[in-house]
Amino acid sequence: MRKIIKKIFWYLVYFSGLNFIYNLFSGPRLILVGYHSVPAGPQDSQNYAMLAVAKEIFAKQISYLKNKYRIINFDDIARGTKEGIAIFFDDGFEDNFLIARPILKAREVRATVFLTTDLISQKDILWTIKLRYLKGASQETEKLIWRLKDLPLAQRQRQLAAIFSKFKNPLPKIFMDWEQMLKAVDVFDYGSHGVTHTDFDEMGEGELLGELRESKKEIEQKLRQNVTALSYPHGKYSELSVELAKKAGFQTAVTTRKGVNKNPDLLCLKRISVDPDDDMIIFRLKLGIYYPLSVAIKKFI
Ligand SMILES: [Zn+2]
């Protein structure tokens, strides 16, 4: 019920012309549209849960962005571009190569993939997805994930190790490999999403600087691109991580703070997060008045 009321409210905002007026008068903005998976089939949609956007919806959104906006990349932002839309993917799922790449290529749109080097090298997969694969995607698994997310890192790792030791199934390949990524340079630029996908605010200074430098170096060597863009794993960052990212040579970095950017700190950029059930009206609103109005409403309630 709450969901329906919310939807009606946002439709009223859209059709009242408020969004149009907001866009007209809000001046130059940097909009970073973030995705994770564009799943190849229903099983992946279940396992990736909130990270998945169906390919038909993704194609529609990309066509819309291409027709309405200037598409830029993170190099443009680093060089001082103040207006445009950058499209990016976190984590480097294999479906970015198999499903998203042809859609982007057909529309001549480039995007940035932020990859986690240990995941790409198949040393591990994200623990949340691993749990869904091994235990099945169910409400019970989701509850377990939320409980584990609340634990401190060491305790979470101990519990996960105990759970995973009970399973013998081999892990599926869910991320792109280096060869696929090299092939996809026609469409993708690459940035760092760390080495291990550990939250940056859970790491010590030396460890974090090592992780930043190592991921940057490995991507640059393997994909022959200069890497200056970063996406904080789980969006977690602190003053220290911003300082160390700069020290390691990064010029732009994306957080999970939601919104559009006006004269931003380039190492703390906000994103538009696309959810699986966003229709085109909600998607258009998210590029405009959605987040500023949400913040204003929360202040009054
Ligand atoms: Zn991630």
Nearest to 278 by CA among 287, 268, 269: 287
Bridge partners of residue 84, in order along the sequence: 30
- Ligand 1 centroid distance, CA of 106 (Å): 26
**Cβ(237)–Cβ(193) below 8 Å:** no
Query: Which pLDDT score is estimated for 64?
Result: 97
State the amino acid at position 116 in one-letter form.
T
- Ligand 1 centroid distance, CA of 280 (Å): 25
The dotted CATH code for 2-40+50-125+175-300 is 3.20.20.370
- Ligand 1 centroid distance, CA of 234 (Å): 6
| Confidence (pTM) | 0.86
- Ligand 1 centroid distance, CA of 93 (Å): 10
- Ligand 1 centroid distance, CA of 26 (Å): 30
- Ligand 1 centroid distance, CA of 5 (Å): 31
- Ligand 1 centroid distance, CA of 299 (Å): 30
- Ligand 1 centroid distance, CA of 89 (Å): 9
- Ligand 1 centroid distance, CA of 295 (Å): 25
| Extents of the domains making up the chain | 2-40+50-125+175-300, 127-171
- Ligand 1 centroid distance, CA of 90 (Å): 5
- Ligand 1 centroid distance, CA of 190 (Å): 14
- Ligand 1 centroid distance, CA of 91 (Å): 5
pLDDT in tens, the chain (301 residues): 788 898 999 999 999 999 999 999 988 999 999 999 999 887 777 777 788 899 999 999 999 999 999 999 999 999 999 999 999 999 999 999 999 999 999 999 999 999 999 888 666 667 787 788 777 778 888 898 899 888 888 888 888 888 878 777 666 778 899 999 999 999 999 999 999 888 888 888 999 999 999 999 999 999 999 999 999 998 888 899 999 999 999 999 999 999 999 989 999 999 999 999 899 999 999 999 999 999 888 888 7
Question: What's the number of CA atoms in the CB half-sphere (13 Å) around residue 301?
Answer: 6
- Ligand 1 centroid distance, CA of 13 (Å): 32
Q: What are phi and psi of 6, to 5 degrees?
A: -60, -45
- Ligand 1 centroid distance, CA of 265 (Å): 21
Q: What are phi and psi of 93, to 5 degrees?
A: -60, 150
- Ligand 1 centroid distance, CA of 197 (Å): 6
3-state SS class at 13: helix
* Long-range pairs, 254-257, Cβ under 8 A, ≥24: 254/32, 254/34, 254/88, 254/114, 254/229, 254/230, 256/232
CA distance 102 to 99: 6
The residues, any chain, with a CB within 8 Å of residue 223's CB and separated by 6 or more, are 178, 181, 182, 185, 190
- Ligand 1 centroid distance, CA of 92 (Å): 9
